[in-house]
Structure 1
Amino acid sequence: MPSTTSITRPSRSSRQSKTTCIPGKLECAAQAKILAQKRRIPLATKYNVNTNGAAAPATTRISLPRTLPRPVLGEVDLASLAHAYPNLTGVPAEYIRDLLPSSTSSMRAALQAVKTSGVCSSSLPKELEIIMNDTVAAACPTHMLAVYNDASLGFGQKRHVSLFPMHDLVLRVHCARLPTLPLSQPSTSSPSATIPVVPFCLSSPETFPLLHAYLYTQQPATLRTSLAYPCESASDLLQLATHASKIHGLWRNACTLGVVDPQLYDVIEASWEHTLSAMQACS
């Protein structure tokens, strides 16, 4: 499970540098902008506003894009993959992705068993020490992702950061737009191991656990269940709008990282369509 911490508000210059921690432009950005301006579905709902002690109806409008454009699916950086894993030199990334789910059960168990020490709540360290046990040693994570967004902070506010242990092989074979990952081969023969902390700037940190889990399991049915309607009746428009925000956040993260799995986008697109249809039905 991810742990959380907070870091103090960085200076203006450091904020500018962090926004470029994930290189590359999204091919879907221009399409998304056009959709946002020209192809949006207006949805109306009512809510109560208490002004003089009595409930009065008011109307707010929710505007959402009709579709979530699928990014151009390139391939991952094979040179970077081979540099980190020389034994995989010349092996197609698609072949590795196909075989990976059969060997990730021990990886997922290790993630659940990870415990850290020496976490400072006021600043983000460059490395973290994880406690070694039999489960972790069987498939030790290579990196700790420090996931955050670059939203503006008020004076004195602290930025919220969520920590996710991760195996870089999973990231390298699935994501075509990774930030630079330092090489890491933690020793499993000691009582603890030190792994690098990698700042991960994403627009929707709160939905990263969904993507994190999918990259390990590659089970579209499980993700589809996670993106099902939040209520059986699907009659609460505001609740559905919140659910749509969850799907949209997952899509933004997948585009940012350049996830190359087409099944992921199949699930996102179907879930988005079903949610918008439910919103239209009850608006």
Structure 2
Amino acid sequence: MFQVAAHPQTFPHHHLRHDAPPQHRRPASSAPAPIQLPRTLARPAFADIARDALAGAAPDLAAAGVPDEFIRHGLRAKGPAMLAGISALAPSHIPQSLPRSRLPPVLSVPLRAAAHGVALPTHALAVSPAGKVKDDADAPTTLYPVHAVVLAAHCTALPRMPRPAGPAGPASAAHAALPVLPLALPSPPAFAIIHAWLYAARLDAVLSSLLPAALPSPFLARLADPAAPALRTLEAALAARPTLHALATHVCAAAAGNLGALMGHAGHVKELWQDVVALGICDAGLWAAIDVAWEVVLGAMNLAAAQ
């Protein structure tokens, strides 16, 4: 199996920090028992692009010794063409779910009529749960068309991917032949967020997926503004406690103070964090988005518990 190590799914136990103003807290005698969550989500050690993995996906880039950031910058510029290549595949021929035992070695997908001139994906990832069921032949998998060079450039924990069945690049045939690679991750559903981010690099979309309909529109609009780097906006938010408090207040109100709903948000953030760690993604922007989401969810839960 094409697999990366799963980050431990058990959180270390720390008390949830109380940031609510004292006048809004309940008396200690009537306060519920504190919810056990980690104060921060640990980041893995930074890692450069694995040159062996890059050589398998883009030999020219590996041979030329192009710096990591230039590779990622160039891929962001090619993101629309790659997304068009994924969209060129006939979706009805990509199974929504298959058991591991029924995965084909190669997925042959017909192309739509408008597929000419786009960058087709090179592989299909069959994502399934890691952990106790990693050897379960009936474990469900979700298939994602991907470009090997995108994974090699961002996911430093992945080994070298096998060569595609045919040359990558503009579509010219009636079908795309995608080698199928089983990939076990701590949270298969969270990979959908990563897959979208790998191609669009939209941090506002990451936060909207983690906290659906919960963050204020002006904040998300600033993240989507190409004139203001999203990383700078996120770093400024992390450095400004009033901003984090305002965002937490908005999220708490959107959940109507329901701790169960807020715990659901926390679970989404935790699951994305686990997958990002397992894949070895070291992007500063994505990590800043995860940090903001976690800070805001903790703050919202504190506010809800104090009501």
TM-score range, shorter chain: 0.7 to 0.9
C-alpha distance after superposition, 1:22-65 (max 9, x if no partner): 15x86xx6xx97x613x24289xxxxxxxxxxxxxxx8874211
User: In the alignment, does 2:209 pair up with 1:209?
Assistant: no
C-alpha distance after superposition, 1:221-243 (max 9, x if no partner): 33233333654513111001011
Identity %: 31
Instruction: Compare 199-208 and 182-191 and name the one that shifted more.
Output: 182-191
The residue number in structure 2 matching 1:127 is: 106
Q: What secondary structure, in the 3-state scheme, does the structure 2 residue paired with 1:71 have?
A: coil
Counterpart contact for 2:128–2:183, Cα < 8 Å: yes
The residue number in structure 2 matching 1:241 is: 263
Match of 1:64 among 37, 57, 64: 37
Using a 3 Å threshold, how does the CA distance of structure 1 residues 77 and 182 change in structure 2: closer, same or farther? Answer: same
Instruction: Compare 77-86 and 224-233 and name the one that shifted more.
Output: 224-233
C-alpha distance after superposition, 1:187-242 (max 9, x if no partner): 54321121100111001111111111111122323323333365451311100101
C-alpha distance after superposition, 1:55-91 (max 9, x if no partner): xxxx887421111011111111123313432221211
Q: What secondary structure, in the 3-state scheme, does the structure 1 residue paired with 2:70 have?
A: helix
Match of 2:46 among 51, 55, 73: 73
The residue number in structure 2 matching 1:102 is: 77
Mark the runs of 5 or more structure 1 residues left unpaired by the alignment: 1-17, 44-58
Q: What secondary structure, in the 3-state scheme, does the structure 2 residue paired with 1:82 have?
A: helix
Deviating beyond 6 angstroms after TM superposition, the runs of 4 or more aligned structure 1 residues are none
- Compare the two structures and name the one with the higher helix fraction: 2
Q: 1:114: Cα distance to partner?
A: 1.7
User: 2:301 is matched by which residue type in structure 1?
Assistant: M
Using a 3 Å threshold, how does the CA distance of structure 1 residues 275 and 136 change in structure 2: closer, same or farther? Answer: farther
The residue number in structure 2 matching 1:144 is: 124
* Aligned equivalents of 1:121, 1:205: Cα separation in 2: 13
**What pairs up with 1:5-84 in 2 under 5 angstroms?**
18=1, 21-22=3-4, 36-37=12-13, 39-41=14-16, 62-84=35-57
Q: 1:244: Cα distance to partner?
A: 0.7
Q: 1:152: Cα distance to partner?
A: 4.5
The residue number in structure 2 matching 1:113 is: 88
User: In the alignment, does 2:285 pair up with 1:257?
Assistant: no
Counterpart contact for 2:98–2:140, Cα < 8 Å: no
Instruction: Compare 128-137 and 207-216 and name the one that shifted more.
Output: 128-137
TM-score by length of 1: 0.75
Using a 3 Å threshold, how does the CA distance of structure 1 residues 199 and 40 change in structure 2: closer, same or farther? Answer: farther
In the alignment of these two chains, the number of paired residues is: 241
CA RMSD of aligned residues (A): 2.9
Q: 1:142: Cα distance to partner?
A: 0.3
Match of 2:174 among 191, 194, 199: 191
* Aligned equivalents of 2:132, 2:294: Cα separation in 1: 28
Mark the runs of 5 or more structure 2 residues left unpaired by the alignment: 19-31, 215-250
User: 1:130 is matched by which residue type in structure 2?
Assistant: V
TM-score by length of 2: 0.70
Q: What secondary structure, in the 3-state scheme, does the structure 1 residue paired with 2:4 have?
A: coil
Using a 3 Å threshold, how does the CA distance of structure 1 residues 143 and 236 change in structure 2: closer, same or farther? Answer: same
The residue number in structure 2 matching 1:225 is: 208
